Amino acid sequence: MLQPISGKELEYIADSMSNEDLLMKQCACAATSISDAGVSQLLSQMVTTHGQNYSTLMNALNQHQSLAPTSPQN
């Protein structure tokens, strides 16, 4: 059974998502500017890996969304 995510855990996940997004962008930029085909291919694979990591973190948030406390509407 899922437990609600604490504020500290939410901050950690948000930081991790931000880091994964930055790494995707940096790897994509480097992949297009490097002339070595092997290194460029490796960087492109890393873009995919970081994208998958980002998606995994987003899915974790979505699974816990129903457990988040809601504030009353006025």
Residue 10 near residue 60, CB atoms below 8 Å: no
- Judge contact between 4 and 67, C-beta under 8 A: yes
User: Which pLDDT belongs to residue 7?
Assistant: 85
What pLDDT score was predicted for residue 54? 97
Nearest one of 7, 6, 21, 31 to 57, comparing CA atoms? 21
Choose the weakest-confidence range: 18-27, 28-37, 43-52, 55-64: 55-64
CA-to-CA distance for 23 and 31, rounded, in angstroms? 12
pLDDT greater than 90 at residue 37: yes
Q: Are 20 and 54 in contact (CB under 8 A)?
A: yes
State yes or no: pLDDT of 72 exceeds 70: no
Q: What is the pLDDT of residue 6?
A: 85
> Whole-angstrom Cα distance, residue 26 to residue 46?
10
